[in-house]
Structure 1
């Protein structure tokens, strides 16, 4: 019975480490380098989106809808 409890604990701990490893975010892109901060200008938000209709289009329909509501600044 004691050995069964030990085996159960080992399996439980191993399962925890597998789940923990799968949930760890990947901070690199193919090629091994981390993504460049500011590399995606759409993450700059409405200041970038609404500077021009082209920027809004580049960033997707949500950005276009937002800028149509609040107005383009460019």
Structure 2
């Protein structure tokens, strides 16, 4: 047992206000001084809470058949 360290456990379970920071601006913009509007339930993850990051630009997914068709028409380089 380490002297000076508390062995008491503190639960963080419950609803928490939070804000995702994909651009890493929160500390610089002093988000810690603002009230967050989004909530998440703990324990849990951002995926479980449907709080995952959305891409800033549309993501296009092609199967190999589509890539072959686009390559035939000179639309994509292979």
TM (normalized to structure 1)? 0.25
Structure with bigger RCO (C-alpha 8 Å, 6+ apart): 2
Please state which structure has a larger fraction of its residues in helix.
1
Please state which structure has a larger fraction of its residues in strand.
2
Greater gyration radius: 1
